[in-house]
Structure 1
């Protein structure tokens, strides 16, 4: 948990500081006074602040973003006294419209470019490793919702729509984002096309399915957790687990799906050790596990790897950044449904992207994704966001008239209330979707035979 929080705070700090520099630098170039430059918001007090020249630099305690306070501008500071005085040459409102526009789009521009640059760096430093569908020797392991659609574990995916996908993530993306429904498969040497239900995406969202497809690979024991029931029973590292009781289960996810049915009981394991078949009886924990972890799929499946030179990483990183932006924009339509709205997440959801262990490659990939996401969200024409200011500046450029200051004040208040409502809604979703709330709900049901106050039956 602490590692996740640390990664989230570091990522947000980098993104906020660079975003605000996107406003700060053009403001300074156009000789516009910047009164404050803050990382995080500072209602009532600051963790740190120091005035250098005409600008106070500080760190707030509320990590909902950051800000630069530019003289002569109605923003989240709601400093109205300044606006009652005649404009001064160093104020934002005294600058030509095109200069004000550049100042306002600076933050979004930095976020977009930063995302692409980070993807370039990741490709240059770590390259790209992936498992092509054609290398999935044992076929695909499907989630239960895909079984309902007609898939069987071991099917090999050939096409989706009229395209030949390269990876499982591409198949998922084309189903969820592009709306493809026809999937051609190879089942035991026979070609077949499965057409997904029109409601499949809504069902996926409603059930909170994380992975529709996974690689299928043999269950070869790599290690044991402390106190492993399998290890106590005599299973050894390197053994292949082929089944349980009288059921053939040679692949890891098949076994993992089967064993929880025997939680607190015992089962007979069918294993292979050095080419010799054996049978071992082991107890299954109350949680439905035997305490054995499989070898990495790379042991049994051939992953492809692409290494990029510095020059090659530039167009590849840029292309990946644009694709990420496109997919993110398309995915927003999924939120306009009852199940989709429940997927809107706050800091908990964002933090979960980083994982509980610190891996620099994943950290930079997630930071790049969040940067691109923030670029799009910030340019939306909502008052209090950069896009709201841009919208009013475009109105001024077209009509030759500035919106009234009273109107701008009310618009700013409306935007701030709207954004605060969305933040509360998103973080409330995190709480309602958390394991903590699920455990609390179960406790209330056990104690009182119903749902907790405010819960859903």
Structure 2
């Protein structure tokens, strides 16, 4: 069931992005009286699942969910249909239109992607508002359990003072900023500690096979207790460990540290259950862990426990516009930095490039409209930026040749465009194979 939910969100998000992107090409084509022969969601290699011709355009759904396309008459595209280019240019063909009209048609897809992302962020701001923990209110510091980050000198209890000279207002932004940072200033028991991050920091992180760099310090809350666990009769879901071996426990990291001293043994503890304190004896395995899965409390519960102050803000429709736009710009700038790191070999970031498997994995296993729209907005930005890369076979490649034509007054020959399209197509396939190959490799060796 969880797989079906993830798959449904993945396909719905992909379908929305593809259809709207292709509409971005389709609408200006129609406005400029350019014939569109096909409009497809997914690729119809050899055959299509559904198709219907309306007017001059065949609309359909292909069977291969790797993208979609519009086939514009008189244009050299991924179909490599060169026969249509042999005859005299016709008034309804792409090649017969002025360069500025062709440029608008080619930029239509990415324009829609960026507009969509901003609309989603504005809508999310209006419907959900903002809920966050101010970084300055993380009074007892961060929880560090990523070995790569620990080796660099980060310690549990440190407070993030600044990243690359800038203060981080929201704790939720800390990991995103750290990922591409060069220098971090920590506050450790009133002392300022500066840590320079190595250029290949991203590569080191991927080798550690851990997701988060730093975490909020959370209480030790019992989640799932397997039937075979020796703690099955001792603990219930939602129990909170508040004392262990006579020591007061506020955060999970404190309990975990104590468990390391009781490997393969039992340890006395006090838990809070339904508001009551209960004395129990916990069984610790040979690795110094309990036989269970921890649970993560939602923000509201953390506030009720007095651990963190949750900042909440609601916005009216017109107030949501500048806030949503600002968030969209921030996400666009952040993705630009990530892309720069990927194309800088020394960072090793290219090793983390993923394909459709990586995209599928970021969707939650339970249906969440908040997560769905948040991911869709980010993917829309990614799709827009990637399509702007000056690679023949992508929108950015066509734009590059059109700009050359507009500046020089010379139009590249059809033969040149055909060869460039073929080179771009081979490069694009190579990138797709590399990205999805990374997914397969991670699935085999473990992530």
How does the TM-score come out when normalised to structure 1?
Answer: 0.87
Q: Which moved more, 1:236-245 or 1:61-70?
A: 236-245
Q: Which moved more, 1:282-291 or 1:93-102?
A: 282-291
1:68 Cα offset (Å): 0.7
1:340 Cα offset (Å): 1.6
Question: 2:70 matched to which residue of 1?
Answer: 68
Q: Deviations over 1:129-167 (max 9, x none)?
A: 111122223321013333222232122223334332112
Question: 1:321 matched to which residue of 2?
Answer: 328
**In structure 2, do the counterparts of structure 1 residues 432 and 257 end up closer, same or farther at CA, with 3 Å as the change threshold?**
farther
1:288 Cα offset (Å): 4.7
Q: Deviations over 1:334-369 (max 9, x none)?
A: 223363221010011111121212100100010000
In structure 1, what is the Cα distance between the partners aligned to 2:257 and 2:351? 27
Q: Deviations over 1:1-40 (max 9, x none)?
A: 2221221111110011001111101100111111100011
Question: 1:455 matched to which residue of 2?
Answer: none
**Residues 228 and 291, structure 1, Cα contact 8 Å, conserved in 2:** no
Q: How does 1:413-452 map to 2 (within 5 A)?
A: 413-434=422-443, 436-438=444-446
Number of residue pairs the alignment of both structures matches: 433
**In structure 2, do the counterparts of structure 1 residues 295 and 382 end up closer, same or farther at CA, with 3 Å as the change threshold?**
closer
Question: 2:133 matched to which residue of 1?
Answer: 131
Q: How does 1:47-446 map to 2 (within 5 A)?
A: 47-142=49-144, 143-177=146-180, 179-187=181-189, 190-199=190-199, 200-221=201-222, 223-227=223-227, 229=229, 231-235=231-235, 239-242=239-242, 250-255=250-255, 265-273=264-272, 278-282=279-283, 284=285, 288-291=289-292, 293-294=294-295, 296=297, 298=299, 299=301, 300=305, 301-335=308-342, 336-337=344-345, 339-434=348-443, 436-438=444-446
**In structure 2, do the counterparts of structure 1 residues 149 and 51 end up closer, same or farther at CA, with 3 Å as the change threshold?**
same
Q: Identify unmatched segments of 5+ residues in structure 1.
A: 440-457
**In structure 2, do the counterparts of structure 1 residues 239 and 438 end up closer, same or farther at CA, with 3 Å as the change threshold?**
closer
Q: Which moved more, 1:157-166 or 1:60-69?
A: 157-166
**In structure 2, do the counterparts of structure 1 residues 350 and 259 end up closer, same or farther at CA, with 3 Å as the change threshold?**
farther
**Residues 242 and 249, structure 1, Cα contact 8 Å, conserved in 2:** yes
Q: Identify unmatched segments of 5+ residues in structure 2.
A: none
In structure 2, what is the Cα distance between the partners aligned to 1:202 and 1:108? 30
**Residues 233 and 282, structure 1, Cα contact 8 Å, conserved in 2:** no
**Residues 270 and 279, structure 1, Cα contact 8 Å, conserved in 2:** yes
1:53 Cα offset (Å): 0.4
**In structure 2, do the counterparts of structure 1 residues 158 and 372 end up closer, same or farther at CA, with 3 Å as the change threshold?**
same
In structure 1, what is the Cα distance between the partners aligned to 2:217 and 2:345? 33
1:302 Cα offset (Å): 2.1
1:258 Cα offset (Å): 6.9
Secondary structure, counterpart of 1:60 in structure 2: strand
**In structure 2, do the counterparts of structure 1 residues 295 and 392 end up closer, same or farther at CA, with 3 Å as the change threshold?**
closer
**Residues 262 and 288, structure 2, Cα contact 8 Å, conserved in 1:** no
**Residues 233 and 280, structure 1, Cα contact 8 Å, conserved in 2:** no
**Residues 260 and 289, structure 1, Cα contact 8 Å, conserved in 2:** no
**Residues 239 and 271, structure 1, Cα contact 8 Å, conserved in 2:** no
